Amino acid sequence: MISDREAAKYPFLNDAVTYVETLGLTLENLVDPSYTGVLERGERRVSQAILSGEATVELEDTLTELLSFPVANMFITAMAEEYLFRRYALSEAARAHELLKDEAEERIAKLARLEFGWDLRLVQERVGEKLYRFEAHFKDYLKNAASFREPEWKLVNRLIRNGYVLLTKRDASRLLQEEIQRRIGSLVSKRRRISLPDPLRIRVNNLQKLFDENRSRLTGQALPTKLLTEALPPCIRHAFQGLMAGRRASHMERFALTSFLINAGMGIDDIVKLFASITDFDEQFTRYQIEHIAGLRGSRTRYTPPTCSTLKTHRVCYEPDRLCERIKHPLSYYRIKVRDYQRE
């Protein structure tokens, strides 16, 4: 049985969720004035996600802290804002990380193994200035670290032997934060219509208003409809110029260019014209491929361009500049540059 305090600290744990279920709370219960504190804290968890991106830890009243988590989840699901699913999960995972990094190694190991099924062992190895306290199977490491951009997280820069990667306590807590974020993300991102009693509905409306006020700050501006070639990242510019010159391009390079142009808002007819004018491809075939990438055919998935790290792997990344160091997706580069140009 999980203690109130542990459940309040980590309300996403299976045991904590079961514990809350045994309390058998209903929506009608929540309207009762005795739960006002829970509702307020639930609303604040969401507003903290919107405003700061990190929920605070409030363990003075553990039951309120615990019960406000499913309430906040419900608010997020009811708001049904795709972007908020992610931001809220991140905010709650960052909160958990704050707590995790001060836990004992044994506690961290137990959580990783039992909650998230990691293949993890406790060790004690000092290498240089670092004290490694865990080794995790590379599959568990990669599941969480593969999207990190900092060089210290690249597997090639890690100490790995026989399938196990050495981790410091700091590393392990950071990787667990990813697991937690995914779990909370899947808890809230359900497509579900929830009909809420008025006192709750009012809180959701408040949060919706708060999100609307912050929406453009958080999700960024829409891109212009005409391609701004001056704002292209070096890799896409290189692919683009290569195409113009008739240089042979790898499949990945062509895919990166095409999906980039589509996502940067260039019309399909314009892309077809561009490609057909300078290559020997027949127009029908070119159009078919472009429409496929745009999600108009086949699986109906609209493809986004590969990330910077994928482009590096496939050697499409070309002469990265200083802005490249700050971003991990070519479209982010384009967005920032476009904004700069629009300001001028």
Partner 1 sequence: MAEQDRGNEQYITEQFKRYYATEAQRVEAPPEIRRREFGFLSFGGRTMFRHIGFQDPQQFRGYLREYAPAHTYFSAAYYKDPRASMAEKGWLGADLVFDIDSDHFDLPCQKEHDRWTCRTCGKEGKGHPPETCHDCKKATFIEETWLCENCLRAAKYEAQKLLDILIEDFGFQASGELSVNFSGNRGFHVHVRSPSAKELDQLARREIVDYIRGIGIEAEYQGLIARRGRGGTASEQRGWRGRSIRALYDFIAEATPEQIKGLKLGRGASLNLIESRDEILTALMNKQPSRVVKYIDGKSMGKLLEAAVREQASAIDTVVTTDLRRLIRLPNTLHGKTGWLTQNIPIDDLADYDPLTQAIAFTEGTERVFINRAPEIVLSGETYGPFEEESLELPLAVAIFLLCKNAARVER
Measured torsion, CA atoms of residues 266, 268, 273, 279, in degrees rounded to the nearest 10 = 100
Q: Which of residues 298-317 bind partner 1 (CB under 8 A)?
A: 298-301, 309-310, 312-315
The total of other beta-carbon atoms located within 10 Å of residue 147's CB is 12
52 binds partner 1 (CB under 8 A): no
- Of residues 138, 148, 98, 99, the one with CA closest to residue 118: 138
Q: Which two tokens stand for residue 59?
A: 């363990």
241 binds partner 1 (CB under 8 A): no
The nearest distance, CB 165 to partner 1, in angstroms, is 8
Q: Which of residues 262-291 bind partner 1 (CB under 8 A)?
A: 280
- 254: CB partners within 8 A, 6+ apart: 239, 243
For partner 1, which stretch binds (CB under 8 A), given 34-42, 147-155, 205-213, 322-330?
Answer: 147-155
Q: Which of residues 167-206 bind partner 1 (CB under 8 A)?
A: none
Q: In the set 156, 191, 217, 344, which binds partner 1 (CB under 8 A)?
A: 156
Q: In the set 191, 193, 217, 251, which binds partner 1 (CB under 8 A)?
A: 251
- Of residues 15, 8, 22, 168, the one with CA closest to residue 92: 8
Q: In the set 26, 193, 245, 277, which binds partner 1 (CB under 8 A)?
A: 245
User: CA–CA separation, 173 vs 152, rounded Å?
Assistant: 15
Residues in the interface with partner 1 (CB under 8 A) total 43
- 330: CB partners within 8 A, 6+ apart: 233, 235, 236, 256, 260, 305, 308, 311
Q: In the set 107, 110, 121, 154, which binds partner 1 (CB under 8 A)?
A: 154
The nearest distance, CB 10 to partner 1, in angstroms, is 25
326 binds partner 1 (CB under 8 A): no
296 binds partner 1 (CB under 8 A): no
Q: Which two tokens stand for residue 1?
A: 């049985």
44 binds partner 1 (CB under 8 A): no
Return the number of the residue (149 or 226) whose C-beta is nearest partner 1. 149
Q: Which of residues 95-134 bind partner 1 (CB under 8 A)?
A: 125, 127-129
Q: In the set 159, 202, 218, 244, which binds partner 1 (CB under 8 A)?
A: 159
The answer to whether the beta carbons of residues 179 and 10 sit under 8 Å apart is no
Each as own residue / partner, the long-range contacts of residues 59-65 (CB below 8 Å, 24 or more positions apart, any chain) are 59/5, 59/8, 59/9, 61/37, 62/4, 62/5, 62/7, 62/8, 63/4, 63/8, 64/37, 64/38, 65/8, 65/11, 65/41
Give residue 323's identity as a one-letter amino acid code.
Answer: L
Give residue 310's identity as a one-letter amino acid code.
Answer: T
135 - beta bridge partners?
121, 166
DSSP assignment string, 238-278: HHHHHHHHT----HHHHHHHHHHHHHTT--HHHHHHHHHHH
The nearest distance, CB 262 to partner 1, in angstroms, is 19
Return the number of the residue (103 or 178) whose C-beta is nearest partner 1. 178
Return the number of the residue (134 or 211) whose C-beta is nearest partner 1. 134
Return the number of the residue (208 or 289) whose C-beta is nearest partner 1. 289
The nearest distance, CB 252 to partner 1, in angstroms, is 7
Q: In the set 110, 123, 163, 241, which binds partner 1 (CB under 8 A)?
A: 163
Q: Which two tokens stand for residue 21?
A: 């279920």
The nearest distance, CB 158 to partner 1, in angstroms, is 6
164 binds partner 1 (CB under 8 A): yes
In which residue are the tokens 């995914």 written?
182
Chain contacts with partner 1 (rule: CB under 8 A): 125, 127-129, 137-139, 142-143, 145-147, 151-152, 154-164, 166, 245-248, 251-252, 280, 298-301, 309-310, 312-315
